[in-house]
Structure 1
């Protein structure tokens, strides 16, 4: 007993020294990565304010893996071909060889940026249908799945085994039985309830199925913070879907706690489908190690519409935060208005500054967010931005009927951006995301009308009233703001 008593203080001292040394090493690593000062300081606060837990949080959520490249794209036939096309288009655009498309000339700086930072090829002659709610979206997806003859590629962040999930799953099983190739991909964290036996059963039913970036200790422990937030469906290479909806009944029926679950999606036909296909197959390579690039999966297409668009994918596997840079550029180019719908508003400093500069420069900037949120701490953080934005002439609105989950931006009746990326650090810097940048007046006007309809069911935040909120509410929001780069 005397021996134990004598050694305990020594062990405690050793543990304290080891902890202090570990924390010091992590702080040095953070500084050497040359992150933004805001993000670096946020992690240092976590380490200092949460002794012990801070190091665990950093190991799971704090490591910067963009330079490491979670998915090595280089060498993939798919990626290399897309990159070559993007380089060729970038050169042609700079030389004025694509002037037959006035939409490109009007938005040349944005188009050029996305070609160079994301290899987002310009696709011409697309048909785009805006799906303005859950019922429209799932009716369209189910109709397309039922008509599949060759292959189905499906990728979602969340896939719930509820009514709509089981309905889609049964169609996939029936199609696989009929000889259609079915590839099923979900995020391991977003679809955490789908266990190993679920995927094994799908494979017995003839469906190739994987979860993306599995979180299993110690494998991928450091990568738990990098999630695949994409929602893509491609059927026969002829029709594609992308947008904000996951597979869950709440997008149709709403939920008891939040009411309706408002969201927006796109149905696409034309060459843009091949761009969506490329994004899916790069993700598929990561989980399956199969480099699929045969022409069979990229059928040639005649022009089917008049929509010009770029499909932009970004994530920790890309050299640049392409979607964030694209949004920044689009906002900076605005002349008349910028209308944004987002469930979470925690933008990077560059996007924040672009919005303020646009509003102060006379552009009508309106941001629509949900009054009810599915994430308490994130909602607090979002509210911390409102006062400074209104002071910069930005107009804020709270959506009333339920939870607003749409991710949409429309500018000047010229550009419409719809996809999976929220207006926050996580979507811009950590998640695998995909957005459609559409250069078409008709689509932009249609989306603007949907925005105005949602605005009619919202209330505007008045600065004088917002300032009168209780001090404790403002304090909670300011505290949450400290951790915005980490949420």
Structure 2
């Protein structure tokens, strides 16, 4: 008479065991050794570009130009350059929501597709899930190839947590945009209120664009199987300036992702200054120790990030708060901006080198997401990025250790609770 319950219990136990085995298999496939944050070198970072690029499976590419675009003004330049395209437009982003900006970008892409250009649009299936059916049809009816990255399908079961967090546009294979801007109306305006975000993207020309076309091709080929060739996508590029750059984006099996290695190596090489602008700043314990070591050797280490009131994800800021005391004890200066979301992902080193792209300073970006970060060796670009840091820091609150230790028990409880899920936030 008890056979049926016993069979049910056995089936449930078997199912639970299979789930555990599956989790272990997925973990074992993805696991890797993190880089040791200790580098023996006295050379300045700008003398080590081949090393920085080589460690991240890239190449230092000379002969480029870079322009920085802030906040909503970025989209005026982007739309203008899309309209000037002659051969191809490749557009990749993580977040696209209904609104004025989405319609403007869609209209721009459709116009080029109707003109006979190859327009390929790669959107993250999770981040762009609210895109209207009408807009999808508009893009496809105009001739755009619209593809969604890692849709919710059985064949994607093992990679559903892997998201395409890149923000990348490549035009005619000759110019590219990389940064943090997403396609929602929050990115319009000039960060003038709590509903309109601050962000940065860079406009690049020169041989580095071949590398960025390769970045787009990686996930496009992965989703569609299509390989594109020819001068309309990979032209022979002449120098467009005097800036040397390198791109970090790969996630090699069994090794730490390139964006993580890049950020950590740069921290270890800094001698004078590390200034970070990042919306989600949750460094691992080893990285915190590396920041402390940098301070001990004389580096000025500063971080600016949104406050819980300014952030679009307060739980992430609470998770970040869990590490503030240790960071402050190490000598890191932390500034919280309360007025709106600071979404730029920037790190500058010693006034001569900078990193900008889509990567947050947290485990999700460093370990899971597909990201793109550009390393730029240019004192003028670094100066401009540091000036943007100072602009927002002037209106931010610097966190002081003595006051921070006195925050309430409920605040501390939230910090530690949300930190438990920091790898998924």
Structures share a fold, TM > 0.5?
Answer: yes
- CA, structure 1 residues 390+324, in 2 after alignment: closer, same or farther (shift >3 Å)? same
Root mean square deviation of aligned Cα: 2.7
Asked if residue 484 in structure 1 is aligned to residue 422 in structure 2, the reply is yes
User: Whose Rg is larger?
Assistant: 1
TM-aligned CA deviation for residue 314 of structure 1? 3.0
Q: Equivalent residue for 1:43? A: none
Aligned-partner Cα distance in 1 for 2:98–2:231: 34
Paired residues, what number? 415
Seen in structure 2, the aligned counterparts of structure 1 residues 477 and 8 have a Cα distance that, compared at 3 Å, is farther
Change (3 A) 1:278 1:267: same
Q: Distance in 1 between matches of 2:33 and 2:417?
A: 17
SS of the counterpart of 1:260?
coil
Shift in CA distance, 33/436, structure 1 to aligned 2, threshold 3 Å = closer
Instruction: Indicate how the Cα distance of structure 1 residues 164 and 198 shifts in structure 2: closer, same or farther if over 3 A, else same.
Output: closer
Q: Find the counterpart in structure 1 of residue 151 from structure 2.
A: 214
Aligned equivalent of 1:373: 311
Q: Does 1:18 align with 2:14?
A: yes
- 2:39 alignment partner in structure 1: none
How far the C-alpha of 1:14 sits from its partner, in A, is 2.4
Kept in 1, the 8 Å contact 2:95–2:124? The answer is yes
CA deviations over 1:208-237 (Å, ceiling 9, x no partner): 110111112x23122110000011111112
Aligned position for 1:339: 275
**Superposed displacement of residue 484, structure 1:** 2.0
**In structure 1, C-alpha distance between the alignment counterparts of 2:97 and 2:26, rounded to whole Å:** 37
Alignment of 1:23-422 (within 5 A): 25=21, 29=25, 35=31, 106-118=45-57, 120-135=58-73, 137-194=74-131, 198-216=135-153, 218-253=154-189, 258-315=194-251, 319-371=255-307, 372-422=310-360
Contact 1:110 1:330 in 2 (8 A): no
Closer, same or farther: CA 223–28 of 1 in aligned 2, 3 Å: closer
- TM superposition shift of 1:398: 0.3
TM-score w.r.t. the length of structure 1 is 0.79
**Contact 2:178–2:203 (CA under 8 A) maintained in structure 1:** yes
CA contact (8 A) 1:316 1:430 kept: no
Contact map agreement 1:272 1:309 (CA 8 A) in 2? yes
> Which of 400, 403, 406 is the aligned partner of 1:462?
400
Distance of 1:37 and 1:152 partners within structure 2 = 37
In structure 2, runs of 5+ residues without a counterpart are 35-42
Tell me which moved more, 266-275 or 471-480: 471-480
CA distance in 2, matches of 1:293, 1:458: 48
**Contact conserved, 1:134 with 1:264, CA < 8 A, in 2?**
no
